[in-house]
Amino acid sequence: MRSPGKDQVTFPAGRSHLVRAAVRGSGPFRGAAHTEVMTLSITLVDAVCPLHDRVRRSVAGALRDRVAGEDNAARAAVIWDTPGERWFTQADPIWRVHADAAMFVAGIRALLLQSLHPLAMAGVAGHSDYKGDPWGRLQRTSNFLATTTFGTVQDAEALIKRVQGIHERVRGRAPDGRPYAASDPHLLKWVHIAEADSFLRAHQQYAGTPLTPDEADCYVAQSCVVATRLGVMAPPTTVVELDAAVESYRHELEGTPAAREAARFLLLHPPLPRIARPGYGALAGAAVALLPLWARPYLALPYLPLAERAIVLPIGGAATSVIRWALQSPRAISSTCVSSTCVSSAGQEISASTKASGSKGARSSGPSPRPTNLTGTPSLR
């Protein structure tokens, strides 16, 4: 008698024909008995699905309350449902990058990298209550990012003007005696390029579909739309220019006591309940692993290449996937037709529809279609 293979199912001796009959709905199990068995199976599946959705909604609610604030539903309604022209669409690289869960890793990396400029860090240490109210700071930054990426042009420009007013009031002297001002175009450029570099690298590492080289260049260019309005002069518009811009600041960077203190707060003492710390630790570890090698010594961070490739980066990917799953909308998103904007090397906005047809492209005046994921991220802005 042939022994069962690994894919064969064995049944109790003398009862195999009864079990098969129950599964197939034949013999004595035809009719009502088979219907009851199948109804029970369907009921069990239906019971699991709502539980799965409840868990997802619970995680998503906790994330949004932390990142966007407890009034996130009202803020979202303003951003997404207000009719009017918008700078970007779902088809644009900047929309895809800023809406993806990889932004949770990207935000931590951006903070660590930005803190290396002693004047930028002095401004944060002297004027920002990042330890006393870290979530309020994160929520304000999240709102800025969402409004300027997904909101109407009118709302985005109003918020940018408000931030510029705050920048004008942030002035002082660093511990080494040098003056700083948050409105300084040179400091603004550092904050911008550290942010853009972090957002792009985290997306390319963890997004389900990374950007193509041309899309990555377009992302860098599109990030200039907001940067130039904030006061950044001659921002990079391609990945090559972005890399060169980061490199050009290296001689100005230092691992100051304030930068190391901020890194310890971010990586070792986040204001989170114990149950949330392992997940956050996975994101923070991934952020460190994505930092440039030259940045590690400034913050006294180790470099363990084998452990990072084999453990840290994959675990960070798993944590990002969980966030993506939690924030995924169960409903399909209806798309609307709005123009796509890129930025030329001269800093001019160019409508993709204009480039394609040679005619003047019109922006949408309707509400913006919500992405499946919406995340916010901290920065030194």
**65-74, 93-102, 210-219, 369-378: segment of lowest average pLDDT:** 369-378
pLDDT band of 361, cuts 50, 70, 90: very low
Dump pLDDT digits (tens) for 149-159.
999 999 999 99
Of 224, 216, 148, whose CA–CA distance to 192 is shortest?
224
Every domain of the chain and the residues it spans: 92-337
pLDDT tops 70 at residue 124: yes
Neighbours of 118 (CB within 10 A): 20
Cα pseudo-dihedral 185, 98, 60, 111, rounded to 10: -40
Of 302, 305, 371, 304, whose CA–CA distance to 336 is shortest?
371
**67-76, 92-101, 233-242: segment of lowest average pLDDT:** 67-76
Which residues are within 8 A (CB) of 128 and not within 5 positions of it... i.e. 6 or more apart? 137, 380
Using a cut of 0.75, tell me whether the model's pTM lies above it.
Answer: no
Judge whether 37 and 30 are in contact, CB under 8 Å.
no
152 phi/psi in degrees, rounded to 5:
-75, 155
pLDDT band of 325, cuts 50, 70, 90: confident
Tell me the C-alpha distance between 127 and 116, whole Å. 17
Tell me the C-alpha distance between 269 and 247, whole Å. 30
Cα separations (Å) of 59 from 325, 327, 370?
9, 8, 19
Which residues are within 8 A (CB) of 325 and not within 5 positions of it... i.e. 6 or more apart? 56
* Stretch 346-353: mean pLDDT: 37
* Stretch 231-241: mean pLDDT: 97
Of 174, 334, 161, whose CA–CA distance to 256 is shortest?
174
Cα separations (Å) of 332 from 14, 220, 221, 335?
50, 29, 29, 9
341 phi/psi in degrees, rounded to 5:
-115, 130
Q: Which amino acid is at 117?
A: H
**140-144, 190-194, 248-252: segment of lowest average pLDDT:** 140-144
3-state secondary structure 57-84: HHHHHHHHHHHHCCCHHHHHHHHHHCCC
Look up residue 284 and give its two tokens.
């923070």
3-state secondary structure of 122: helix
Which residues are within 8 A (CB) of 347 and not within 5 positions of it... i.e. 6 or more apart? 224, 228, 234, 237
3-state secondary structure of 86: strand
pLDDT tops 70 at residue 352: no
The better pLDDT of the pair 98, 23 is held by 98
pLDDT tops 80 at residue 37: no
3-state secondary structure of 138: helix
